Structure 1
């Protein structure tokens, strides 16, 4: 699978190489950062009242020293869909003095069987 030579393309290529199925919906986390707590809280309230379908979490990122709003959207991680969503969220964040700061996908997603049964002991009848 070919991806553009930019940050989003490189992230998708790395995900594909790691064996993540990019044709299925995944929980994609978009990161919005704000210097000011009030701006971050206002943005969170505004986004919560919008028609955006996703979960949100606001916290102080000690590493960045900024308020971070994580917006989790269930979507198929296609390149253009990621770019479009990131642009939309960046425009939104700018209205509150913030900006987007990338996106990511947790390694373990629903349907993964990597951690399914850690207590399982294989026998001759196992088919994995």
Structure 2
């Protein structure tokens, strides 16, 4: 299939989405996408976490002790169809929030949902049982 650069622009987000599509991931299905913001201090992370909770975001907060310098990381979980323009909009919003709270936006990721025909047949049989 030829890449549609309107749907999958030639940048990091477009490349990830294109690779997901090429791997067989159904991008019309909602995914839980994880966006991350990193902080050097617990206090800044906690203030940002409270702000995100007030904005009705689903989050987790943990310390990454394996980083070169330990850092506090907020992960924001957004259940959505992985569409380029929506991802870019959320990245801009989370970047702004990170900067307002002394943190740094650190990217997004999600689990791929790829099923082959055998997997679907097995699932169908399980549901019939």
Question: TM-score, normalised on structure 2?
Answer: 0.78
Query: CA offset at residue 108 of structure 1?
Result: 5.3
Query: CA offset at residue 24 of structure 1?
Result: 1.4
C-alpha RMSD of matched pairs (Å): 2.5
User: Does residue 64 of structure 2 align to residue 61 of structure 1?
Assistant: yes
Aligned residue runs from structure 1 range 62-77, under 5 A: 62-64=65-67, 65-77=70-82
Aligned residue runs from structure 1 range 62-101, under 5 A: 62-64=65-67, 65-101=70-106
Tell me if structure 1 keeps the 8 A contact 2:30–2:79: yes
Query: CA offset at residue 20 of structure 1?
Result: 1.0
Query: CA offset at residue 63 of structure 1?
Result: 3.1
Question: TM-score, normalised on structure 1?
Answer: 0.78
Query: CA offset at residue 62 of structure 1?
Result: 2.4
CA distance, structure 1, for counterparts of residue 106 and residue 39 of structure 2: 10
> Where is the helix percentage greater, Structure 1 or Structure 2?
2
Tell me if structure 1 keeps the 8 A contact 2:29–2:81: yes
Q: Which residue of 2 aligns with 1:35?
A: 40
CA distance, structure 1, for counterparts of residue 101 and residue 36 of structure 2: 14
Q: 1:85 to 1:62 in 2, by over 3 A?
A: same
CA distance, structure 2, for counterparts of residue 97 and residue 82 of structure 1: 22
Tell me if structure 1 keeps the 8 A contact 2:25–2:113: no
What stretches of structure 1 of length at least 5 have no aligned partner? 121-128
Of stretches 99-108 and 35-44 in structure 1, the one that deviates more from structure 2 is 99-108
